[in-house]
């Protein structure tokens, strides 16, 4: 497996993102909404770098199943537990590919009338990204590679890697 982003680069960029988010929200209350499963390690590291005390919740959505390409249909597997009406919501994603799932989630969450919705994604595939919504906080822009590690997986494997690697062994 080829290393794309080392643990050192990840730590540095997550710290920077935490500062950017802290400056953006100042002392305002925010709900950090971690998109499971891939975003859990990134979200855990990120909230430790945010200077305010964010409320944290989780939503699990999938459009990949066991494959490496999006199916085109978003399935909500675990819904938000908090009432987000009137709250600032920060969606924390591991990776944004085409942006299809993100657009779906934003529209889904808007129905609950939050005060605001912003997005922080560790990775964005800049050539494939077609989302019309603004992604306010981006860790790294990457090429169209299938990546694993730092929470991201292939068929449940490789989430525990402390770096992001390009998984080249797909058959």
Query: What's the pLDDT at 62?
Result: 76
**Among 22-31, 57-66, 99-108, 109-118, which is the least confidently predicted range?**
57-66
Whole-structure pTM value? 0.90
Domain extent for 44: 2-166
Q: How many domains does the chain have?
A: 1
Kindly report, residue by residue over 54-65, the tens digit of the pLDDT.
Answer: 999 999 987 755
Q: Decide if 66 is inside a domain.
A: yes
**Among 9-13, 22-26, 61-65, 120-124, which is the least confidently predicted range?**
61-65
Q: Decide if 105 is inside a domain.
A: yes
Q: Decide if 94 is inside a domain.
A: yes
Query: What's the pLDDT at 168?
Result: 82
The residues annotated with a catalytic role in the active site are 97
Gap between the Cα atoms of 63 and 84, Å rounded: 24
Asked if residues 148 and 167 have their Cβ atoms less than 8 Å apart, the reply is: yes
Q: Is residue 19 over pLDDT 90?
A: yes
Q: Decide if 171 is inside a domain.
A: no
Query: What's the pLDDT at 27?
Result: 85
Query: What's the pLDDT at 131?
Result: 57
Q: Decide if 70 is inside a domain.
A: yes
Q: What CATH number should be reported for the domain holding residue 87?
A: 3.40.50.2020
């Amino acid at each position: 497996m080829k290393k794309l982003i080392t643990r050192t680069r990840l730590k540095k960029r997550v710290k920077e993102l935490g500062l950017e988010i802290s400056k953006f929200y100042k002392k305002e209350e925010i709900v950090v909404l971690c998109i499971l499963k891939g975003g859990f390690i990134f979200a855990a590291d990120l909230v430790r770098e945010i200077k305010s005390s964010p409320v944290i919740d989780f939503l699990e959505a999938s459009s990949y199943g066991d494959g490496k390409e999006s199916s085109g249909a978003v399935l909500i597997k675990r819904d938000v537990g908090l009432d987000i009406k009137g709250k600032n919501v920060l969606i924390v994603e591991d990776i944004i590919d085409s942006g299809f799932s993100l657009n779906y989630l934003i529209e889904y969450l808007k129905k609950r009338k939050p005060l605001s919705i912003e997005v922080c994604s560790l990775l964005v595939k800049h050539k494939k990204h077609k989302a019309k919504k603004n992604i306010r906080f981006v860790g790294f822009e990457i090429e169209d590679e299938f990546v694993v590690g730092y929470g991201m997986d292939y068929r449940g494997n490789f989430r525990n890697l402390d770096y992001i690697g390009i998984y080249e062994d797909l058959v």
